[in-house]
Structure 1
Amino acid sequence: MSTNRARLEILKPFEFTYASNRICVPLGAQRLLAFLALQGDGAHRAAAAEQLWPDCTPFRAAANLRSALCQARRVESLTVIDCFGPRLLLSRSINVDLHGVWESGRQVMAGMTPLPECWDALIADLGRELLPGWAEDWLVLERSRWDQMRVYTLESLGQQFQAAGQYLPALQASLAAMAVDPLRETAHRIAIEVHIAEGNVASAIKRYQDYRSFLERELRVAPSIQMTQLVQDLMPT
C-alpha cells in the first residue's frame, strides 16, 4: 500500500492518516467519515443527518452535517467525501481497514486459507472491535453485523487449520472466536478437537467442563450431544 494513500481505521479507536501522517479530525467529521465507511452505497444527506444527530431537530442536524462535511470533505489536496447531489459517499481513494478485513473474511469462508505469513495478522484483525468506546445508536446494527462476520470467519479459519493439522493457528482462531461470542459452541468444539488431535486429553476435558459450567451458570442449559460425544470416551469412569 502506498504511503501517500489516505487510510481510515475504525477497527480500533478512530484514526485517519494521510501520507503516513496522522490527521486531526474534529469529532463531528469523525462520525461522518465512520458512518460513510459503513455505507457501501453511500447515504442521503437527510438520512445521514438523522442517523448521526438523532436528538437534534432536523434543522440543527442538517446544520451539524454541513459543518462536519466542510471539515471532512478535503484533506490537503485529497477529496475524502464525494457528493453526488444529495448523496454522500466516502471517496474510493480512502483505504478503510474494515473493508480489507471483510474481504479477507469472504475469501476464508469461500475456502481460501490465508498464507502462513498472513494468518496471524488476520486473526488479530478479526479480534478487533468496531470503533470501541463509541456509543452511537447507528453503530449497534453495524457492530452486530461485524461480530457475526468475524465469528463465522474465525470458526471457518479454525476448521480449515485443524483439518490441515495446523494446530496452533486453529487454536488461536477458535480462542479469538470465543472472545467475540463465548456462548457459541462451534469455537469450543474446534478447540476440543485440536486438543484431542494433539493428544492433550486433559486439555480437551477441561475445555469441555469449563464450557459446560459456563452454560449452566449463564443459561441453565447443557452442551449439545455433538459436543459431549467428542469427550465421552475420554472422561474417567
Structure 2
Amino acid sequence: MTAPPRRPTQRADRSARSELYLIGGIHAVVDGHAIEVPDGGSRLLVYVALRGGRVDRRQIAGTLWPVGDDARAAGNLRSALWRLRGAGLDLLEGDHSWLAVAEHVVVDVDQVGAWAARLVAGRLEPGDLMPRPGWSDALDLLPAWHDDWVVFERERLRQRMLHALEAMSRELVARNRQAEAVDVAMAAVAAEPLRESAQRVLLEAHLAEGNQIEAHRCFARYRDLARRELGVSPSPELGALLAGYRGVPAGAADRAGMTGRASMTERTAGARERAQEHRVDLVSRSRYPSAPPARQGAAAARSHTGDSSPA
C-alpha cells in the first residue's frame, strides 16, 4: 500500500524562490508547489505582506487580536506563526521584536505596485505594455475582507492601478497602438465610471484612432452618468478636448450636448436656408430674366409673398 504524500513540515529552502499571492485568492508557491494558506495564519501573513518591511510584533498582535491583554495577543501571534510553519510556509522572518516577509519571497502585490510605479514615472521595462492577467482582481484586493487596514491597502492599490492604466493607455497612443489603448482605457473606466481622468484617456484614444463619433458617445454617456449620480457636469476641459479636436471654440461642444445632434441640426437648418435661397433665385430668373440679380431676388420675394407694390 502506497503511503499518502506527506505535507511539507520543515522550513523551506531559503535559497529557493517562494511566491505569495494575495490577488485573486490567498495562496503560496514554495519550491514550485502550490500551498493553501491555513486560516489560522492567513491574517498574519497578509498583514505583514501588505505593510511591507519590518513590522513591530506588538503592533501586529494589537491590530489582529485587539480583544484581551497583550500577553494573550502575543500568544495568538506565536500560534499563527506555528500554523504557517507547520503548513510548510516559512515565509516570514524576524526576531522577538519584529517580523517581515523573508527575502526569498516574492509578493504579487509588490510586483503590481512596482509595475504601476514604472508606468506612471515613464520608466518602462520590456513587457510593461503587455496585458497582465488579474487586472480586475488587483483593482479589488481581498474584497471579502473588511478590516480597516485591508480597506486602506485595497484603495491604495486600486489608485495605483487606475493611474497605471491611464498612463499605459497614453503610452500606447504615443506608440500608435490605438486599439490596445482603447482596451486599457476601457478597463480603467469600467473600474471607476465616474473617474474623469479615465474618461479623458478613453476619449484621447478614440480621437487618436480618428473615431470622433465614438468619442462623442463616450462623452455623452459620462455626462449623463455624472449628472444623474452626482448632479454635476464634466469639467470644461473635458468638453474642450472634443471641441478643440473639431476646431470649434472651447465650450461649444458641451453647449451642443456633445452628441452631435445639435451640430447636425445647425447643418440641416443651414442647408435648408441655402436651398430656399437657391429656389428663390431660380424663380426670380425665370420670371424676371432682364432684371439685375439683386432686383430679381427682391421681385421674386414680393411675388412669393403676394406683394405687388413696385420696388
- Could you say which TM-score interval applies, normalised by the shorter chain? 0.7 to 0.9
Which digits, 9 at most, give the CA deviation of each residue in 1:191-216, with x for residues without a partner?
11211222222211110011001101
Alignment of 1:141-220 (within 5 A): 141-220=152-231
2:47 partner SS:
helix
Alignment of 1:1-237 (within 5 A): 5-73=17-85, 76=88, 79-113=90-124, 115=126, 119-121=130-132, 124=135, 127-232=138-243, 233=246, 235-236=260-261, 237=263
1:95 partner SS:
strand
- How far residue 97 of structure 1 moved from its aligned partner, in angstroms, is 0.8
CA contact (8 A) 1:74 1:81 kept: no
- What is the alpha-carbon distance in structure 2 between the residues aligned to residue 118 and residue 196 of structure 1? 20
* Percent sequence identity over aligned pairs: 32
Amino acid at match of 2:189: M
Q: How many residues end up aligned between the 2 structures? A: 233
- How far residue 190 of structure 1 moved from its aligned partner, in angstroms, is 1.1
Amino acid at match of 2:94: C
Which digits, 9 at most, give the CA deviation of each residue in 1:62-120, with x for residues without a partner?
222111111124764x7421122310111011111111111111211221345468521
Amino acid at match of 1:158: S
RMSD: 2.4
- Which TM-score applies when normalising by structure 2? 0.68
Change (3 A) 1:85 1:117: closer
Which residue is 2:290 aligned to?
Answer: none
Change (3 A) 1:204 1:114: farther
CA contact (8 A) 1:123 1:176 kept: no
2:130 partner SS:
helix
- How far residue 181 of structure 1 moved from its aligned partner, in angstroms, is 2.6
1:121 partner SS:
coil
- What is the alpha-carbon distance in structure 2 between the residues aligned to residue 38 and residue 225 of structure 1? 39
Where relative contact order (Cα < 8 A, 6+ residues apart) is larger, the structure is 1
2:148 partner SS:
coil
Change (3 A) 1:127 1:163: farther
Unaligned runs of 5+ in 1: none
Change (3 A) 1:31 1:185: same
Q: Who wins on radius of gyration, i.e. which is larger? A: 2
Change (3 A) 1:192 1:84: same
Change (3 A) 1:223 1:111: same
CA contact (8 A) 2:53 2:101 kept: no
CA contact (8 A) 2:170 2:205 kept: no
With 61-70 and 174-183 compared, the bigger mean Cα shift is at 174-183
- Which TM-score applies when normalising by structure 1? 0.88
1:22 partner SS:
strand
Higher strand share: 1
Change (3 A) 1:19 1:52: same
